[in-house]
Amino acid sequence: MNKVKPDVIVNLDRPRALRLDLNAMCEFERVAGRSLFDGSTLGSNMSASDIRVLLWACLLRDDPTLTLEQVGSLISVNNMAEVASKLNESFEAAIPDKTSKAVVSKAEEKIDRPLSEVMTG
């Protein structure tokens, strides 16, 4: 039985499917030079580059031809909160509940406030 959770749909230039699977995690690590699970990536420590790389990595399954620059042009101040919310949703969908809670809790300890508050503004 396949336990991969469904894609998260985000409206960009068109509705696109986000999936934070192992391939996306590895692509994020390769390009960003750090892990999603090191406790420093989530929340307020995410730079604009981190958000762009994570969105790109999560979109590769939907469209493997996308470049970082193309993905960057899909994000603006007008949709940043929605994109961050959808990335957070894809993270929660990808990680088993206990692991997700532990990672989010660790990130929240570092930033001293709830991750959902940081990700959605």
Model pTM?
A: 0.74
Please give the pLDDT value at position 23: 94
Please give the pLDDT value at position 63: 96
Please give the pLDDT value at position 88: 86
Cα separation of 66 and 2, whole Å? 27
Please give the pLDDT value at position 43: 58
Place of tokens 């391939």: 23
Mean pLDDT, 10 residues at a time, the chain of 121 residues: 74 95 93 80 72 95 96 94 89 69 58 49 48
Please give the pLDDT value at position 94: 80
Contact by Cβ (8 Å): 96, 9 = no
Please give the pLDDT value at position 29: 93
Please give the pLDDT value at position 83: 92
